Amino acid sequence: MSSQTIPNEQDYVINPKKFVLWLLIVASVMLFAGFTSAYIVRRGEGNWEVFNLPSLFLVNTLLIIASSLFIQLAYSAAKKDQLQKVSSFLSITLLLGIGFCFGQWYAWKQLIADNVFFAFSNPSNSFVYVISGVHLFHVIGGLIFLAVMVGNAFFQKINSKATLYLNMCVTYWHFIGILWIYLYIFLYLYR
């Protein structure tokens, strides 16, 4: 019988939890690459209605950029053990993320007011709803993770020696921010 030692997380080149996060990010990139590729192919087949994107999509883009700035400030504050700032910056990030979600909802209402419906008769309309809706699903997942981080920050469980989960949250949040910027530019250019 040989005794095997169980490796610590510090023994790995990359933390296993971070590795799983990166796998999820790669899977999401592939999902949205598929959506945008299908969009381009279907657009080339004709029967494509051109319409204006809701102005709220731009506002939401600014909200997601601002939220990325604040979550980065929270991470920097955690590295310096500025615990009050961590709580404040994470709370602001959470509020901006919630604002983004409501902004998407109202953007869809703008689309409906402009007679742009989710309908199989015109795929251009449906693609906008599917792409922005699946992205919103990713944002909601990020908000849940972020809410846990806000709770941890208020109970002072985040500091310079305990930043793994905050780092993962920051990585994911930046990813969904960059993803939205890409999607907004893509939808704007390929209407």
Which pLDDT score, from 0 to 100, does residue 147 have? Answer: 98
**pLDDT(3) > 60:** no
Phi-psi region of 8 (alpha: psi -120 to 50; beta: other; left: phi over 0): beta
Q: Which domains does the chain have, with CATH numbers?
A: 56-189 (1.20.120.80)
Dist CA 66 CA 80 (whole Å): 21
CB 56 within 8 A of CB 106: yes
Amino acid 11: pLDDT: 62
Name the percent of the chain lying above pLDDT 90. 81
| Predicted pLDDT at 47 | 79
pLDDT digits (tens, 9 = 90+) for 5-34: 555 656 668 899 999 999 999 999 999 999
State pLDDT tens for residues 61-89.
Answer: 999 999 999 999 999 999 999 999 999 99
This prediction's pTM: 0.91
pLDDT at 123: 85
Tens of pLDDT along 88-97?
999 999 999 9
What's the CA gap between 49 and 71, in Å, rounded? 38
> What is the spatial distance between Cα 155 and Cα 93, in angstroms, rounded to a whole number?
18
Angle, to 10 degrees, between the axis of helix 56-79 and the axis of helix 83-113? 170
Q: 111-167 pLDDT, tens per residue? A: 999 988 887 677 888 999 999 999 999 999 999 999 999 999 999 999 999 999 999
